[in-house]
Amino acid sequence: MAAQLQTAVTERPLLAAAGALGLIFATIAYQDYRHYVSLGPHGLPPTFWGWYTQLKMTRMSRKDVTVPAPYNIDTVAGPHDKENFLPQDAARALKWRPGNKAPQIPNFVAPQRQTSDIASDEMKQAMYTYLDTLVASHGAVLQTQKSVLEGPVPAVGIKGFASLSDAEKPVVYRSTRGEIIHIHPPDGSTHLIMSLADQKSVIQTGWGRRHRLSGGGRLPWGYTFAYAPRNEMEFEVWKTLVGSAVEFCLANMGTNADGK
């Protein structure tokens, strides 16, 4: 057998080289696929076709997700994108995320997850509870729901968005079908839609980054990935982030917490 293999390589070196490269590629692809599946449920199926679909999305994705503002804001900004909804006073303004080091984020277009600095089960439960409390305080405008983007995970959306007329649907929420926040149970990270001014602050201070599809046509520029809180201090920061997303939503809907 070894002699036959050696003869084949000698007589057909190009074919042998192509076969070896094909085997290497298949091995790398399989390992990448297994890593994709290991990240848990999300908007694409945990199958080869799900993995291949996100691979094709690379063509419309961006790599500058940690650049604070890689755009001309006068060109891309919506009605309230230049406004800050995060606290701006010295005592409450965002400070650098402790450690000055981002968690590990695999390079998939989808799902976007972190594989280090994962939130504890207790922290994730506190996050879910806070979303419920937040929605209860804005019940005329918001609703709790299962994510329409990433499957059965806790989310917040605009109440009755599907029944609104096109004129009543803010452009920034159309691609997410009215969804403004959702939490990823495997790691405790969060996707939320923020004003561009707030998102810039989040990226500059190390609390998150954009999605690779943000600004690429499928998702709005303000679609933001917030890192999972690791302790009570970071949980308080997380609450200000989701609070700013809610205030941004209210501004875009032209209403207040009471829906007036």
- d(CA 256, CA 234) in angstroms, rounded, equals 27
pLDDT tens digits along 17-26: 555 555 555 5
Whole-number percent of the chain with pLDDT over 90: 69
* pLDDT score of 151: 81
Locate tokens 């996100």: which residue?
A: 54
- d(CA 81, CA 69) in angstroms, rounded, equals 12
* pLDDT score of 23: 56
Residue whose C-alpha is closest to residue 170's, from 83, 69, 251, 259: 251
Q: Answer yes or no: is pLDDT of 60 > 50.
A: yes
What are the sequence ranges of the domains in the chain? 2-58, 65-253
Poorest-pLDDT segment among 70-74, 75-79, 96-100, 173-177: 96-100
* pLDDT score of 257: 60
* pLDDT score of 228: 99
Q: Answer yes or no: is pLDDT of 13 > 70.
A: no
Q: What is the pTM of this model?
A: 0.87
Poorest-pLDDT segment among 4-8, 220-224, 226-230: 4-8
* pLDDT score of 30: 57
Q: Answer yes or no: is pLDDT of 27 > 70.
A: no
* pLDDT score of 256: 64
What is the token pair recorded at 86?
């995060």
Most confident range (mean pLDDT) of 89-98, 105-114, 233-242 is 233-242
Most confident range (mean pLDDT) of 3-7, 33-37, 67-71 is 67-71
* pLDDT score of 8: 44
Q: Answer yes or no: is pLDDT of 250 > 60.
A: yes
* pLDDT score of 196: 99
